[in-house]
Structure 1
Amino acid sequence: GYRMRDLDNVEMELNYLKSLGIEDIWFKDVVFGVNKRHYYGLLELLKKPEHKFRWATLSRVDVVTDDILVKMAEAGCHTIQFGVESSDPDILESIEKGISPERVKEVFNLCRKLGIRTLAHFIIGLPGETMETAKRTIDFALDIDPDFASFNVASPRVGTPLRDEAIEKGYISDELTELDNSITFPTMDLGTLSKEDVWRLRSEAVRRFYLRPSYLYRRLTGVRSFRELTNSIFEGTNLVVNSLNPKPDPAEMVEV
């Protein structure tokens, strides 16, 4: 279940982290801001001079308000990850995402103005996906222009409604149990898109997003340390190599 920690307990840990010389924190909370009263209290803690940290977290565009984003920036937040998934309203409704493309744009624009970096997660190959909806989602990723984007392949994990739907509609076999490799290779044949189509679309998304001259310039000029520069070069090289692979290597597919 979901349990929020007592703020006094959080403050004790913040003091301990500061004593260790820690300067950057990752709040592993998939819905940061869902209980505004609690999180406003946490943000006030983080604004204290003795608790000055740089920090990052995850949230949802239907959870964060403009006000809480402002307070997060004031309290030292430098990066937020958001699950955007798709720009197609029908696909978003089918997975009960509860967000709209319009609100996504508003949140990402405000984060940019506040100096908060964003990472947007997208999923290609959800039920109902077509070549047209996938390409519109890629265009949408370029439009909202996050600092980082993660393009994943829909993975029907065991015990999820997506897996039940995939079996019912014949996208996968009910006897097939595959490891969750949603970044590595597709597992569903949708009828509207083959596995190979989904893989090619993901590769196209990575190339179009990360190999833009404007993006490369922004990343290089925005580097804050030598370590960040070396990480960017390493990650960029891997992205290019992986995106140029036209389809997943069958030898890498594992069935259990």
Structure 2
Amino acid sequence: MTNETKYDIIFVVPRYRAKDGFIWKAIEYRFQSPGVLSLATYLNSRGFNTAILDCNLEQISDDDFISVFNERFGTSDYKYIGFSAATQTINSAYILAEKIKSERSKVQILFGGAHPSALPEDVLKNNFADFVFLGEGELAIEKLLLGEEIENIKGIAFKRNDEIINTGPCERISDLDSLPINDYSLVPMKNCKPLVGTYRKLPATIMVTARGCPGRCTFCSRVVGNKLSVMSPQRIFDEIKVLYYNYGFRQIIFYDDTFISTRNRIEEFCDLIINSDIKISWTCSSRVDKVYPDLLVKMKMAGCHQIMYGVESFNAQVLKNINKKTQPEDIHFAIKETQKAGIEARAAIMLGNPGDTIEILEDNIKQLKKLNPDLIQVTITTPIPGSQMFSEAMTHNQILTYDWDKYEGSDQIVKHENISFEELQKYYRKTYIKYYLRPSFIFRTLFKANSFLKIKVLIIGGFSIIPVIFSGLGKRKKRK
């Protein structure tokens, strides 16, 4: 329904659609945008009025966007519309922004998120783009809405005549506890759909409890910076209480880059959960060199059932090449200790890292089968804008495509020094097939399926492998 409300800003999140043949296509998932929710909640708490149209959470296609937007906001008064986009969704954001601008030329279009923060000048080349907010947007957007001089607002890029002006890095929020708990009523949380294999209970949603990452991996986008800002254990617990009691969520998937970044914080958080009536299940991600056996036991007691580790490679030189600052023995220790604590271990590995060879890719498969994590996640190394890898490849004219839709982990973005793209595609499929279609893995997994929900997840997960297998068969058939 249309309304005549006056909004200071309307936020739009574009829809992400995985390509055919990519494993994420078969196991599509969707959640609220924690960053956009934080922006809207913060601005509302400061006396502004905002709204969110989350096309990803609501599964609104680019074709249907303008009709849905006009139905909800056609008679509303607003000056700004903010688009939040990652690299994989920036093209969709462009399409939506152009549609808005063509109908309401006086509306000013803001862009934010990982991709615009990394390449503000590239975004501002578009006629429909007026501003780009760099990194965290709460403080900078607040100042814009208050009418401060744009040149004096840190963390913003904008056009003036034919010149693009960048005011420099944004002002970081060091204490995340100072931000209000997200107002989840701003989006339809009932639409959340978790990734297959990441949940034990339903309904499930995500939380982000930290910003920034102290790591220096060359493939990671660091648009927020390396300084780590975190929520306190009590603040995490307070937000979980809202999700648990007010919205009925029983599974939390922590989306922090490395949740176990500060041991004491996680230990205190686990104590709060253990000593409460809240019975949630949860998962998180971690580096393999941030593993403490006694903490794993406590995490298990607090409801943690899975940890995803950024393995990337089992080769010491490759790990050095991507500045991972971990060793193969760290990987073995992390996965073994995690499973010993009764927590599932998910190993994320990348193919086509600098220094990779066919022999190394074969050894990765061998090591995975030997170590036997509960789940694996495979991607082709993708230099995302904002990463050191992308900057270096751009400087040396090694980028093969700037079609941002291809930056999702299944396409070749940079020509590899040792391995052809056809071979990378082959090993992308081969790693999944050789690992998941082993009789020992199948029997072990079936043996652990002790509930209807687990059986359902297994069936969906099994079907998700099929497009990976047959996409390869189709391509080989065409070449004959």
**1:169 to partner: Cα distance:** 5.6
- Give CA deviations for 1:104-131 in whole Å, capped at 9, x if unaligned: 1111111111110111100000111110
- Give CA deviations for 1:150-184 in whole Å, capped at 9, x if unaligned: 111011222322123334566434xx313254433
| Alignment root-mean-square deviation, CA | 2.2
**1:16 to partner: Cα distance:** 2.8
After TM superposition, the structure 1 = structure 2 runs for residues 89-168 of structure 1, keeping only pairs within 5 Å, are 89-167=316-394
After TM superposition, the structure 1 = structure 2 runs for residues 32-51 of structure 1, keeping only pairs within 5 Å, are 32-51=259-278
Change (3 A) 1:183 1:240: farther
Q: Which of these residues, 212, 221, 238, is aligned with residue 464 of structure 2? A: 238
1:225 and 1:92 mapped to 2: Cα distance? 38
Corresponding residue for residue 30 of structure 1:
257
Contact 1:200 1:247 in 2 (8 A): no
Mapped pair 1:52 → 2:279: yes
Change (3 A) 1:42 1:169: same
Which range is displaced more, 6-15 or 30-39? 6-15
1:101 and 1:10 mapped to 2: Cα distance? 32
Contact 1:196 1:247 in 2 (8 A): no
Q: Normalization by structure 2: what TM-score? A: 0.48
Contact 2:254 2:284 in 1 (8 A): yes
| Structure ranking higher in helix proportion | 1
1:51 and 1:23 mapped to 2: Cα distance? 9
Mapped pair 1:86 → 2:313: yes
**1:248 to partner: Cα distance:** 9.0
Change (3 A) 1:162 1:247: farther
Q: Which of these residues, 46, 61, 66, is aligned with residue 288 of structure 2? A: 61
Residue segments in structure 2 that go unaligned for 5+ positions in a row: 1-211, 213-227, 476-480
**1:246 to partner: Cα distance:** 2.6
**1:14 to partner: Cα distance:** 3.0
Which range is displaced more, 97-106 or 224-233? 224-233
Change (3 A) 1:25 1:93: same
Which range is displaced more, 216-225 or 115-124? 216-225
DSSP 3-state at the match of 1:14: helix
Mapped pair 1:194 → 2:420: yes
Q: Normalization by structure 1: what TM-score? A: 0.87
Contact 2:233 2:266 in 1 (8 A): no
**1:230 to partner: Cα distance:** 2.6
Residue segments in structure 1 that go unaligned for 5+ positions in a row: 250-256
Corresponding residue for residue 177 of structure 1:
402
Q: Percent identity?
A: 26
Contact 1:45 1:51 in 2 (8 A): no
Corresponding residue for residue 252 of structure 1:
none
Contact 1:184 1:248 in 2 (8 A): no
1:184 and 1:95 mapped to 2: Cα distance? 19
Q: Which of these residues, 452, 464, 475, is aligned with residue 226 of structure 1? A: 452
DSSP 3-state at the match of 1:55: strand
1:108 and 1:11 mapped to 2: Cα distance? 27
Corresponding residue for residue 244 of structure 2:
18
Q: Give the ranges of 4+ consecutive aligned residues of structure 1 lying more than 6 Å apart after TM superposition.
A: none
**1:7 to partner: Cα distance:** 3.2
1:72 and 1:12 mapped to 2: Cα distance? 18
Mapped pair 1:212 → 2:438: yes
Contact 1:66 1:110 in 2 (8 A): yes
